[in-house]
Structure 1
Amino acid sequence: SARLNDEVANAAALQKNLLRPPLIELPGVRGLSTMITSSEVGGDFYDYYMVDGRWVVILVGDVSGHGIAAGTIVCAAKAGVNFLESEKEKEPHKILSRLSNIIFNTAHQSLLMTMFAVCLDTRTGELRYANAGHQFAYLYRSMLSQLDSLELGGLPLGKNANTDYEQQVTEIDLGDRLFLYTDSIVEEENNAGECFGYERLEEVLVNHGESDIETLNSGLLNTLTTYLGRSVFHDDVTIFCVEHFEKTSDIGQTDSSAKPAPDVIEQVHIADAFYRANPATISPRIQRQELIFLAEQNFSDLIPGLATQGVRRILLQDHPINQQLGWGVLLNQHQNKNTDDLSTFMRYPEQRREFHFTHSEDKIFIINEVDAWLQEQSIPNTDRLDAAIFLLDELIENGLCGAPRDGKGRPLYAKGTSRELAADELLRLDVSIQNGLLGISLTDSWGTLTPNVFLNRLSRHVQGMGLDSGVGGGGLYLIWRMSDYLQLRVFPNQQTQVCAFMDLNNQFDPEADKGFQFLYHSELYEAINHD
């Protein structure tokens, strides 16, 4: 009847008015959402809000079915999200648990709703996420040209009165993108009864990885409609894509529930044997800057798993170099904000050389200078000398061509590019010898290397995937292999220090696993509330 049609039209208009603007413009984040309903009242849902000018909460959901009944559940979910926003709730697992209770009491299990929830800390790049039976979100890592799936399960909203959801954490770099969607994209079928599928979706996301978000959005819809041979969908379609384009700073807004930072940052140690016996997820409440994994002699098999959990400090328990560098000094590196780590570890060198680069052509001259200088030191193990020169070459090449990157993390120069360094660009090499220990340090003024990139390179190489076409990154892995201990300290967008140490008195074993620490000073104290 006309009255019924009017009521449906009013319900559809109300549902559209409940949605946030499709153009997403928040501090540190920008993006675009698109929702196409297959009927006047749909069952898809998206929402987003910001907490304290720092944390961005994103939700994408899908009610089982569409029409008036599904629209009612969407309205209930929206009301719940509005309340959670007023409470400044930012933990994805808590958001899902609260919404599940609301949907259960609204639909009494007659309808369920899937939802993926994320929270991005725009100051640190930490990304927390939880899932209530929804399609996994995708994370496109621009610096790696790599598409990751945020795989995590959970019951749909409304299945039970009280449901607890697991939450996981990863890190997102500047230029990276988060892509969420509803299942109709992969489940829509063409005339032959074949689904669009995940492989085609992932291909579009990778091919448009460096396109602007509007081009990605239209490209995906065009590819989908071309494959289907029609522009009408049998189910609601939602696409939600955001890009982390800048870090936000503390402008006086604080998390009211966060505890004040202590004067001394406590450490958490995880022993190799304990972790192997209890390979559970390391709590996201533990700050990764404070976490140290104490490894046995061979630990490379654990690197991929530890990397996914953001573990970036691994020290070998019984390696002789620990005594040479000072065990206490190594453990407390997160407390320091040094601009010259080499001097910290080697306070009284017998020999020290310093070189400043003004042009890429300086590389050959400086390597030859260091080679001749080391030859004069009568190093007993010549294989150590060869390894040192090889390491030096990789370090310098990374400083010249790997460090300079644009705002999206893309390299400004191809490997081997001949260039003059800018007047305000620093690239300094320091080499020291003390008590049979060789220390090599390279400092640049870019500060673009991130823990994600470093850990990813190590993981791919130990799994035998690092030399795939287009992946690259072999330099970081080789620098680690050539060192007895490797330390990286990064002040984002300011400075990167890479310090490699080699014991000249012992035989070189390139296959032995080596300790490393990546100190990433995104803030003075990474006080993130994980409660």
Structure 2
Amino acid sequence: MQQNKTILALFADNADAEAMSSCFFHVPEVISVIADRFLKVTLGEIASARIDPGLAVISSALYPGKRPQLVEELRGYFPGLEILVLAPASMPPHSLERFMLDQVRHLIIENRQEKAATGDGDQPLSVAIGNLILKRQWHLGQYVKRGTEIQEFQLSFSEEKEQIIKALEDSIVGDSMEYEMLRQKGALLADEMLENAFYGAPKSDDGMKIFRKGERRQILPDEGIVFRFAFDGETLAMEIKDGWGSLGADMVLEYLAKNSADMGAADDAGGRGLFIIWRFLDHFHVCVNPGKETLIGGHLKKSSQIPPETIHGFHITTTG
């Protein structure tokens, strides 16, 4: 099926549009809209012209703070619209509560000073738009330089965790404090990802965990637990896949929102683990095929200045 590649870009005012303009240099088929008092008229005219956008990119200067009902308004005109919020690193959203209520599952934190780029040279927004419009899954090759080796481990026993973490640490070659910090963060993230796949993801039909955290166990072939990572000298990317598919997109967003707002930490290892993984990665992605597969991953830059206590970017998608 052919995808609609038309994109709405919504800004708070002309100054906001100008500040964000560089983010859209390589993005085709964009309709830019200033959300003034004529917004409903403008959206009605777009709908009347039988333009059905596949994606709306919304400035965080507009949503959720200034216009909290915006997503509801947009979906009133375009029911199948995917929503992506774009925020500068200097002013990330204060909370994800509105995101959770509106089921907004895509957030990019744009660091204009670093002009952070993925491995193939595209800006994060361009990559995200391509993935969302074309229904592609995020993968490690989009985070690291082209040609970077991706190491892959098919898990058979829980005891293999230490071997994998050591391989990851050994791949980060360098003596500076930045390299050492990246090794420590990478080891923490790998541990959380593996623990989540071993003990958080396996659930019975009634939603109960099958294995106790920390117990040594064999990984059955149909669990399909695979861990991958790559390091290109600046960016460490990693992901883990399991064959359970026990997470849901709304569940992931709820974990992130409730933990980040300190509304009460999730009381299971999966919730806490996902929150930790999200907060230590510069950018985080989750793709769930319910009952079949979950993929969790992202990337972390050696020179990252994003503190763990701030809200980070994420993409939460479903397939199947």
Q: TM-score, normalised by structure 2?
A: 0.71
Which runs of 5 or more structure 2 residues have no equivalent in the other structure?
A: 1-49
Question: In the alignment, does 2:143 pair up with 1:354?
Answer: no
Per the alignment, residue 18 of structure 2 pairs with none
Per the alignment, residue 66 of structure 2 pairs with 277
- Aligned to 2:117, the other structure's residue is in SS state helix
Whole-angstrom distance in 2 between the partners of 1:440 and 1:514: 16
Greater alpha carbon shift after TM alignment, 281-290 vs 390-399: 281-290
Deviation at 1:281, TM superposition (A): 5.8
Which runs of 5 or more structure 1 residues have no equivalent in the other structure?
A: 1-261, 523-531
- Aligned to 2:104, the other structure's residue is in SS state coil
Q: CA-to-partner distance for each residue in 1:279-331, whole Å, 9 max, x for gaps?
A: 22622545677210112334352301211211111111335475335331122
Distance 1:318 1:470, change over 3 A: closer
Q: Which amino acid aligns with 2:225?
A: L
Deviation at 1:272, TM superposition (A): 1.0
Question: In the alignment, does 2:92 pair up with 1:302?
Answer: no
Q: Which amino acid aligns with 2:87?
A: A
Q: CA-to-partner distance for each residue in 1:162-216, whole Å, 9 max, x for gaps?
A: xxxxxxxxxxxxxxxxxxxxxxxxxxxxxxxxxxxxxxxxxxxxxxxxxxxxxxx
Q: Which amino acid aligns with 2:299?
A: F
Per the alignment, residue 406 of structure 1 pairs with 204
Deviation at 1:371, TM superposition (A): 1.9
For residue 458 of structure 1, the aligned residue among 256, 268, 275 is 256
Aligned sequence identity (%): 22
Whole-angstrom distance in 2 between the partners of 1:418 and 1:306: 38
- Aligned to 2:103, the other structure's residue is in SS state coil
Whole-angstrom distance in 1 between the partners of 2:185 and 2:79: 35
Q: CA RMSD in A?
A: 2.8
1:92-171 alignment to 2 at 5 Å? none
1:10-89 alignment to 2 at 5 Å? none
Q: Which amino acid aligns with 1:413?
A: F
Whole-angstrom distance in 2 between the partners of 1:368 and 1:481: 22
Deviation at 1:277, TM superposition (A): 1.4
Q: For the Cα contact (< 8 Å) 1:289–1:334, is it kept in 2?
A: no
Greater alpha carbon shift after TM alignment, 365-374 vs 330-339: 330-339
Q: CA-to-partner distance for each residue in 1:335-390, whole Å, 9 max, x for gaps?
A: 4555671134446243432111101111122212222332x355650222211111
Whole-angstrom distance in 2 between the partners of 1:452 and 1:310: 7
Q: Which amino acid aligns with 1:314?
A: L
Deviation at 1:414, TM superposition (A): 2.7
Whole-angstrom distance in 1 between the partners of 2:270 and 2:263: 10
For residue 503 of structure 1, the aligned residue among 286, 301, 311 is 301
- Aligned to 2:247, the other structure's residue is in SS state coil
Q: For the Cα contact (< 8 Å) 2:200–2:270, is it kept in 1?
A: no
Whole-angstrom distance in 1 between the partners of 2:80 and 2:301: 28
Q: CA-to-partner distance for each residue in 1:463-494, whole Å, 9 max, x for gaps?
A: 22343766972111111110111111122222
Question: In the alignment, does 2:220 pair up with 1:422?
Answer: yes
Rg larger for: 1
Whole-angstrom distance in 1 between the partners of 2:81 and 2:192: 26
Deviation at 1:517, TM superposition (A): 0.6
- Aligned to 1:417, the other structure's residue is in SS state coil
1:182-201 alignment to 2 at 5 Å? none
Whole-angstrom distance in 1 between the partners of 2:149 and 2:169: 14
Q: CA-to-partner distance for each residue in 1:46-90, whole Å, 9 max, x for gaps?
A: xxxxxxxxxxxxxxxxxxxxxxxxxxxxxxxxxxxxxxxxxxxxx
Q: For the Cα contact (< 8 Å) 2:255–2:271, is it kept in 1?
A: yes
Q: Which amino acid aligns with 1:500?
A: G
Question: In the alignment, does 2:111 pair up with 1:323?
Answer: no
Deviation at 1:266, TM superposition (A): 1.3
Distance 1:449 1:379, change over 3 A: farther
Q: For the Cα contact (< 8 Å) 2:118–2:142, is it kept in 1?
A: no
